[in-house]
């Protein structure tokens, strides 16, 4: 029973954060900072057009991820 409440608490505690995820289309470095160009999908519509967003990431994340991988950011 204690495990059940722990799981419910974890789900509720994490549910408030909004995340945007996308597929890494390109990786680049600019002025010592690391970026991913993500292909984002608009979940509010059925439009399948490509929407790009650039996000700054830590060097360790940059080296870990590859083009084509999924990456999520917290809003």
Q: What predicted TM-score, i.e. pTM, was given to this entire model?
A: 0.63
- The pLDDT, as a whole number, for residue 41 is 63
Average pLDDT score over residue span 61-66: 96
As a whole number, the mean pLDDT across the chain is 75
Confidence of residue 4 (pLDDT cuts 50, 70, 90): very low
Q: How far is CA 58 from CA 23, 33, 47, 49, 63, in A?
A: 17, 8, 31, 28, 9
**pLDDT single digits (tens) 9-31:** 444 445 544 457 889 999 999 99
| Residue 36 neighbours by CB distance under 10 Å | 23
**pLDDT single digits (tens) 34-56:** 999 988 765 555 555 567 788 89
């Amino acid at each position: 029973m204690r495990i059940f409440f722990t799981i419910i608490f974890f789900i509720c505690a994490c549910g408030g954060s909004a995340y945007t995820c996308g597929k890494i289309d390109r990786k680049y470095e600019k002025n010592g900072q690391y970026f991913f160009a993500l292909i984002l999908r608009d979940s509010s519509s059925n439009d399948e057009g490509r929407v790009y967003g650039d996000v700054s990431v830590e060097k360790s994340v940059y080296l870990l991820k590859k083009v084509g991988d999924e990456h999520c950011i917290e809003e």
